[in-house]
């Protein structure tokens, strides 16, 4: 066993790091600066892991292993429509509370009355860019609903259309995520003033 002042060689990046107590802080900072990640703290690595895991799950839902198969069933079309609805619901449930809290913070920071707030907050939830996101989402939802219904009612489902339908769903989730990011960006910018 080493004493506190001894050093050990970090084999991963061939640098000397202090033992035990100081190793986490010093090696983590060196790894963060050098590679953009750390193993000892786990913060950046875990964040990247969570994002990767979420993308993996989303990809698995949208493009299952049998996506290129020559046979598919009607229920898969219905499932894609259900997944689209669930994905939008989850995205809204995840983002809405935080967004509303930030709006309340802005109201308090500016000292707005309720009526002033209703007028001043409107551009954060409705502008030309948000309308474009909403229009695009509406078109994608209509396409998903139509294709899902056609696929579920078809005598012999077209698996290529199922893959196309999943692509529309992925685009819908991407569009809604971009909309939330845009709205949060506008609000964060205003809060920082």
**What is the per-residue pLDDT across 18-59, written as a single tens digit (0 to 9) for each?**
444 444 444 445 444 444 433 334 444 444 555 455 555 555
How many domains does one find in the chain? Answer: 1
95 is a domain residue: yes
13 is a domain residue: no
126 is a domain residue: yes
Looking at the whole model, is its pTM more than 0.85? no
What are the backbone angles phi and psi of residue 117, rounded to the nearest 5°? -65, -45
41 is a domain residue: no
Q: For residues 83 and 169, is the Cβ–Cβ distance under 8 A?
A: yes
Task: Name the stretches of the chain with pLDDT < 70.
Answer: 1-70
The answer for residues whose C-beta is within 8 angstroms of residue 156's C-beta and 6 or more apart is none
Ramachandran category for residue 66: left, alpha or beta (phi over 0 → left; psi -120 to 50 → alpha): alpha
Structure tokens at 88: 């939008």
87 is a domain residue: yes
Question: Residue 14: its pLDDT value, please?
Answer: 42
Cα-Cα-Cα-Cα torsion 22, 26, 28, 34, nearest 10 degrees, comes to -160
Angle in degrees, CA 43, 186, 168, rounded to 5: 75
Q: How far apart are CA 34 and CA 107, in angstroms?
A: 41
Q: For residues 17 and 23, is the Cβ–Cβ distance under 8 A?
A: yes
Q: How far apart are CA 6 and CA 89, in angstroms?
A: 54
57 is a domain residue: no
Q: Which domain holds residue 133?
A: 66-191
Collapsed DSSP state (helix, strand, coil) of residue 181: helix
Question: Residue 189: its pLDDT value, please?
Answer: 93
Question: Residue 59: its pLDDT value, please?
Answer: 55
Question: Residue 23: its pLDDT value, please?
Answer: 45
4 is a domain residue: no
136 is a domain residue: yes
Question: Residue 83: its pLDDT value, please?
Answer: 86
Q: How far apart are CA 159 and CA 70, in angstroms?
A: 6
């Amino acid at each position: 066993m080493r004493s506190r002042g001894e050093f050990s060689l970090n084999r991963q990046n061939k640098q000397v790091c202090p033992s035990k107590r100081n190793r986490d802080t010093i090696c983590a900072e060196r790894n963060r600066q050098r590679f953009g990640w750390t193993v000892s703290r786990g913060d950046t690595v875990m964040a990247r892991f969570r994002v990767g895991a979420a993308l993996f799950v989303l990809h698995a839902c949208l493009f299952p292993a049998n996506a290129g198969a020559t046979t598919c069933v009607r229920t898969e079309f219905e499932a894609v429509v259900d997944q689209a609805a669930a994905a939008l619901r989850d995205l809204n449930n995840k983002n809405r509370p935080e967004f509303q809290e930030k709006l309340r913070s802005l109201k308090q920071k500016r000292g707005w009355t309720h009526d002033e707030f209703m007028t001043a907050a409107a551009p954060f939830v409705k502008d030309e860019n948000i309308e474009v996101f909403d229009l695009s989402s509406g078109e994608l939802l209509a396409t998903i609903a139509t294709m899902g219904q056609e696929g579920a009612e078809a005598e012999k489902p077209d698996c290529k259309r199922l893959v196309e339908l999943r692509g529309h769903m992925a685009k819908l989730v991407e569009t809604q995520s971009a909309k939330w990011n845009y709205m949060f960006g506008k609000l964060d910018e205003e809060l920082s003033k």
